[in-house]
Amino acid sequence: MAGKGEGGETRKDGQFALPLALRRDYAASRFVASASNAEARLWLAQGEWPERRLWLWGEAGCGKTHLLSIWAERRGALHVQAGLLSPELFLTELPPGGVAVDGLDSPFREDVLLHLLNHAREQRRPLLLAGRAPPARRAVNLPDLASRLRATTAIGIRAPDDALRANLLLRLLAERQIVVSQSVMDWLLRHLPRTADAVLDAVERLDGAALARGQAVTRALAREVLGDRLHPDGREEI
C-alpha cells in the first residue's frame, strides 16, 4: 500500500520522492562571469583591501558563496559559515590566506565576529565577508562591531542579467537531472522574476512536483507549481 514517508511525497508509482540535499559544485570553472558580478571579481583580484576587509552583498543565489569558495580555495583561506563561528576557531594563528565568512544575514555570535576582526587585524590577515545586505544595514548590538563593519568596504553584486539567469537555470536543472524543452526554458526565463533566488526556488519546486507525480516538467506543470511567482503578464492561458 502506498503511503507517505517522513519529509517526502508519494509518487504515482508508489515510490517515495525524498527531498535530497544537493551538494553544489563551487569550482572556479563553473562560475559564470557577467556584468552583474564584474566589480566583485575586480575587488577579489586585488591584493590589498582597506583594513584588509571586504564585504560582498547581494540577493540569495547571486554568487556570493561561489566567489567566497573560489577565493578561499585559491588563497588557502578558511571558509566558514557565520552561524558556526566559535571562540575555539581562533585560539591559534589564523591561516596566512585569511578567512572567508559566509551567511552574515543569518544569526551569529557578535562577540566572536568582533574577536575575529580584531584577531585578523593583529595578524594582518585578510577577511572576506558576505551577506544579503551591506554592513551599514546589518543591525548589530555591539557598538565596536557596528563601527568596524561600517568601516568595511562593501561591494554589491547586482541582479543577474539574461545570460546569467539562463546559465543558472540550465545548471540547476542539470544538477537535478531535469530535462525540459527549449520552449519551457524560454517560458520560465520570460515569466519568472528577474532574480537568482526566483530561479533557485523555481527549480526546487519543479523538481519536487515532477518527482512526486512521476512526470516530466511541462509548461502546464510549471504554471501550476509556480503560479504565485510568475509575472502578471505570464498568466495567459496555455
Residues 48 and 138 grouped into a single domain? yes
Residues 39 and 150 grouped into a single domain? yes
Residues 132 and 190 grouped into a single domain? no
Residues 85 and 170 grouped into a single domain? no
Residues 184 and 221 grouped into a single domain? yes
CATH of the domain at 56: 3.40.50.300
Residues 166 and 85 grouped into a single domain? no
236: phi > 0 → left, psi -120 to 50 → alpha, else beta; which? Answer: beta
123, 138, 156: which is the final residue of a domain? 156
Inside any domain, residue 15 = no
| pLDDT at residue 131, rounded to an integer | 95
Distance CA 133, CA 209 (A): 32
Inside any domain, residue 139 = yes
Residues 151 and 167 grouped into a single domain? no
Distance CA 145, CA 110 (A): 7
Inside any domain, residue 104 = yes
Instruction: Give the H/E segment covering residue 16.
Output: strand 16-17
Strands of 99-180 (E only): list them.
99-102, 127-131, 153-156
Residue carrying C-alpha cell 504554471: 223
Residues 179 and 76 grouped into a single domain? no
156, 176, 191: which is the final residue of a domain? 156
Q: Which tens digits make up the pLDDT trace of 144-195?
A: 999 999 999 999 998 888 888 888 899 889 988 998 999 999 999 999 988 7
12 and 216 in contact (C-beta within 8 Å)? no
Q: Pick from 87, 153, 82, 154: which is nearest to 119 by CA?
A: 87
Q: Which residues pair with 127 in a beta bridge?
A: 53, 99
| pLDDT at residue 124, rounded to an integer | 95
Residues 126 and 168 grouped into a single domain? no
Inside any domain, residue 75 = yes
* Structural domain range at position 98: 28-156
Inside any domain, residue 56 = yes
| Structural domain count, the chain | 2
Distance CA 90, CA 115 (A): 8
DSSP class of 57: E
Residues of the chain predicted below pLDDT 50: 1-23, 234-238
106, 128, 156: which is the final residue of a domain? 156
